[in-house]
Amino acid sequence: MGKQVMGKAWIESVIITGLFVGTTDILLAFLSQYIKTGNFAEKMFLYIAGGATGLEQSMTGGFWTELLGLFFHYFIALSFTALFFYLYPKWKILSYNIYLTGILYAVFVNLVMRYIILPFTPLPSQPFILSRAFIDWITLGIVLGIPIVYFAGKFYSARIDSK
């Protein structure tokens, strides 16, 4: 796993994995919101767009604002996927255990979003509740972390096997 190849195959793997985890993550968000409220979260992408435009403006937005929210959602998913794919061959410990690494990467993603990214947006801060964070970390680990680790491992083992 020494030298990393960031060519066409790497980009394709990152995009496919990022689209997969972005889709499973947003589906989980919709499902979670439905379970909590009994209603479909029609304004989910408007809320996400509020990170750039502010909630007052985004919640009254239309198609283009929703598209902006969709873009930001997948941009974030693809960015965290690319970061993991970049680090995977550099840090051997990341290939130690797919499940543990996936959950820990989900915790990392959640904490980076909560304490580094979101404070720079006009979105209101949410209180930290450990029990809720634990549930978020496990579910995010299942839909984002573990798939990213799995697909990164497959990508790099295929590179080694083909040599």
- Report residue 31 as tokens: 């499902």
For residue 148, what are the CA distances in angstroms to 94, 100, 101, 142, 162? 11, 12, 10, 10, 21
Which residues are within 8 A (CB) of 114 and not within 5 positions of it... i.e. 6 or more apart? 126, 128
Kindly state the DSSP code that residue 124 receives in the 8-state scheme.
P
Q: CB of 21 within 8 A of CB of 77?
A: yes
Determine contact, residues 105/91, Cβ cutoff 8 Å.
Answer: no
Domain boundaries, the chain: 8-42+76-161
Helices vs strands, H then E, count in the chain: 7, 0
90-145 confidence digits (pLDDT tens): 999 999 899 999 999 999 999 999 999 999 999 988 899 998 899 999 999 999 99
pLDDT of res. 5:
60
Residue 69 CB-density burial (10 A; 0-12 exposed, 13-18 middle, 19+ buried) = buried
Question: pLDDT tens for residues 55-95?
Answer: 899 999 899 999 999 999 999 999 999 999 999 999 999 99
